[in-house]
Amino acid sequence: MGYEAKAERYDKMTYHKAGRSGLRLPAISLGLWHQFGDAYSSENARSMLRAAFDAGIVHFDLANNYGPPPGSAEEMLGRMLKTDFAPYRDELIISTKAGYDMWKGPYGNGGSKKHLTASLNQSLKRLGLDYVDLFYSHRPDPETPLEETMEALADFVSQGKALYVGLSNYSPEETERAAELLHQLGVRLAIHQTQYSMFHRDPEKGLLDVLDKKGAGCIAFAPLAQGLLTTKYVSGIPETSRAKDANSPFLQTEHITERAVNKAQRLNKIAKERGQSLPQMALSWLLKDARMTSVLIGASRPQQIEENVQALQSADFSNEELSAIEFILSEKNEGE
């Protein structure tokens, strides 16, 4: 059956500029880290992509090694760009990345011009696209001069293979230097993708300030702390949880501490008083900061996407709510 996107898809989504660039992203973006490779149901993936786009989520985020197996998430999206989203390509923001392990040999990862160029060319082939809207250096490479990595990103823009470029997992100092190098090459740093949630607040220790100074946006991955900021673990670890799998790249059992569960329970109470679920409140809490461009959610079924998007319909936080949340999250309260 053919797909026709909902006419009202833009009615409830909000869109934020990435810093001082012309790039606009939905407040909530969809990450294809898992559930979108060959190991998963293509029909469920199709349903999630359709649900996301129908809700105004125009940004689909990938990396070269997303799957499993590596590369298969891009291949899957490439097929669906042809079968479902071909009429809507110019409404979409497709992003991908390179830097982590992808193939064997000395050029299978890192930030060299060789790896980044080969990887982007492979990604474009898998996606069936002439260009991606946004390309990231997935991580800093201590064995490659930062100048070389930024030269590669600037080349992609000049070649038309990427419209915008970004960084992921860079420190505040590395980010500031990278932004300066790109500026010298005539290219703007559009955005930084970083881990950020109520339970992981490192970006507040300088990164957000650097991005604001350099006119770049910020998009948070793992905004629900890989499930800790959902109701899934409030009563302990479910038998079906992936945390029980020692080989899983997801949240591990040792991270589901009594203290984390206690905090989630108390945050959940505030969320209910606000008329939100805990994940909805966790997303709203991140987006209250004007420096945040978007939050990057993962999902295993369409209903999760639809629920998360409803976070945008809630009222702003009161000072009392913010104080109560901060007290729960603060170090002074961790011993309780």
Least confident segment among 123-127, 189-193, 235-239:
235-239
- pLDDT tier at 315 (50, 70, 90 boundaries)? confident
Average pLDDT, rounded, for the chain: 93
Enclosing domain of residue 87: 15-227+285-314
At what angle are helices 72-83 and 113-127 packed, to 10 degrees?
A: 40
Mean local confidence (pLDDT), 247-268 = 78
123 has a pLDDT exceeding 80: yes
Residues 312-320: contacts with CB under 8 Å, at least 24 apart: 312/12, 312/13, 312/14, 312/27, 312/28, 312/284, 312/287, 313/12, 314/274, 314/275, 314/276, 314/280, 314/281, 314/284, 315/274, 316/288, 317/284, 317/285, 317/288
pTM tops 0.95, yes or no: no
Strands (E), the chain: 15-17, 24-26, 28-31, 59-61, 93-98, 132-137, 162-168, 189-195, 217-221, 294-297
- Predicted confidence (pLDDT) per residue in 78-92, tens digit: 999 999 999 999 999
268 within some domain: no
261 within some domain: no
280 has a pLDDT exceeding 90: yes
The full DSSP string for 158-206 is HHTSEEEEEEES--HHHHHHHHHHHHHTT--EEEEEEE-BTTB-GGGTT
Q: Are 315 and 287 in contact (CB under 8 A)?
A: no
> Can you give the pLDDT at residue 101?
98
326 within some domain: no
27 within some domain: yes
**Residue 221 one-letter amino acid:** F
Count Cβ atoms below 10 Å from residue 235 Cβ, excluding itself. Answer: 9
Mean local confidence (pLDDT), 282-309 = 97
Of 245 and 273, the structure prediction assigns the larger pLDDT to: 273
Rounded CA separation 261/264 (Å) = 5
> Can you give the pLDDT at residue 231?
84
At what angle are helices 113-127 and 146-159 packed, to 10 degrees?
A: 40
> Can you give the pLDDT at residue 248?
52
- Predicted confidence (pLDDT) per residue in 205-250, tens digit: 999 999 999 999 999 999 999 999 998 877 665 565 555 455 555 5
178 within some domain: yes
220 within some domain: yes
214 within some domain: yes
Specify the CATH number for the domain of residue 49. Answer: 3.20.20.100
Rounded CA separation 252/249 (Å) = 8
Report the number of distinct structural domains present in the chain: 1
Percent of the chain with pLDDT over 90: 88
Q: What phi, psi does 26 have (nearest 5°)?
A: -65, 150
7 within some domain: no
> Can you give the pLDDT at residue 335?
41
> Can you give the pLDDT at residue 60?
99
Exposure string (b/e) for 35-44, b if CB count within 10 Å is 16 or more? bbbeebeeee
The pairing of beta strand 24-26 with beta strand 189-195: unpaired
